[in-house]
Amino acid sequence: MDKIKVNDMEFYGYHGVFPEETKLGQRFRVSLVVTLDLSKAGNTDNLTYSVNYAELYNRCHAIVEGEPVKLVEALAERICHKVLSDFPIVEEVTVNVVKPDPPIPGHYRSVEIEMTRSR
């Protein structure tokens, strides 16, 4: 199977367990890998047989900057579900959601959730 990757999309959302996260908000980075057969798109040069990258971005934007959730896991699940429901040509989607600045003590670069869902 072929893959389309959309990497490091940045959004600002109000997700989290702690009150300051839902009040102040924070940055989130999202990457997608969608798995599908791109042979028809490659042979015909026709977007109908592929997935528009801008539409993938728009779906992620609406979810991350939309209704808050407590868990990054819930955010990733929503994105997976939306991609699979809106793009029937997609067989599998992997979503990475990175929370670069979570309000927990310690020294680390980020917290990241990776989730894969398929039909």
Asked whether residue 103 carries a pLDDT value surpassing 80, the answer given is no
Annotated catalytic sites, by residue? 99
pLDDT of residue 106: 82
pLDDT of residue 32: 98
List domains and CATH numbers for the chain.
Answer: 2-118 (3.30.1130.10)
3-class SS of residue 34? strand
Scanning the structure block, which residue is given the tokens 């699940």? 77
**Alpha-carbon span 7 to 9, nearest angstrom:** 6
pLDDT per residue as tens digits for the range 56-100: 999 999 999 999 999 999 999 999 999 999 999 999 999 999 999
pLDDT per residue as tens digits for the range 26-39: 999 999 999 999 99
Residues 6+ apart with CB under 8 A from 32: 4, 5, 6, 9, 56, 60, 79, 83, 93, 94, 95, 96
Q: Read off the pTM.
A: 0.94
3-class SS of residue 116? strand
